[in-house]
């Protein structure tokens, strides 16, 4: 699946770049960027675009690279992520 990168969140991409989230590394980059800089509407869109298990797996891979407050919020929200 390819998602169009929102220029507000992905300012370093050219306009209308599509991110292939089937690639685990790109998915993780996408999730990290949305969680770090996204608004509520961006996070809701992310949650509609990927399934909960995919989100949880990605979060487990990227959580150590998130700001402390963002990581703590999602760890509380998700509970034990393993």
Alpha carbon of 40 to those of 24, 46, 68, 80, 82: distances in Å?
23, 10, 18, 23, 25
CB 49 within 8 A of CB 21: yes
b/e per residue 24-48 (b: at least 16 CB within 10 A): eeebbbbbbbbbeebeeebeeebee
The rounded distance, in Å, linking the Cα atoms of 61 and 9 is: 20
Query: For 13-61, how does the pLDDT look when each residue is reduced to its tens digit (9 = 90+)?
Result: 998 899 999 999 999 999 999 999 999 999 999 999 999 999 999 999 9
Query: For 58-68, how does the pLDDT look when each residue is reduced to its tens digit (9 = 90+)?
Result: 999 999 999 99
Q: Is a pLDDT exceeding 90 seen at residue 81?
A: no
**Total residues found in the chain within this entry:** 82
**Ranges of each domain in the chain:** 2-78
pLDDT of residue 78: 85
pLDDT of residue 82: 57
């Amino acid at each position: 699946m390819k998602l169009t990168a929102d220029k507000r969140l992905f300012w370093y991409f050219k306009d209308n770049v599509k991110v292939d989230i089937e690639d685990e590394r790109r998915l993780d980059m996408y999730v990290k960027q949305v969680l770090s800089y996204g608004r509520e509407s961006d996070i809701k869109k992310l949650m509609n675009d990927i399934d909960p298990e995919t989100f949880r797996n990605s979060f487990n891979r990227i959580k150590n690279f998130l700001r402390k407050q963002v990581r703590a919020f999602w760890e509380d929200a998700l509970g034990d992520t393993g």
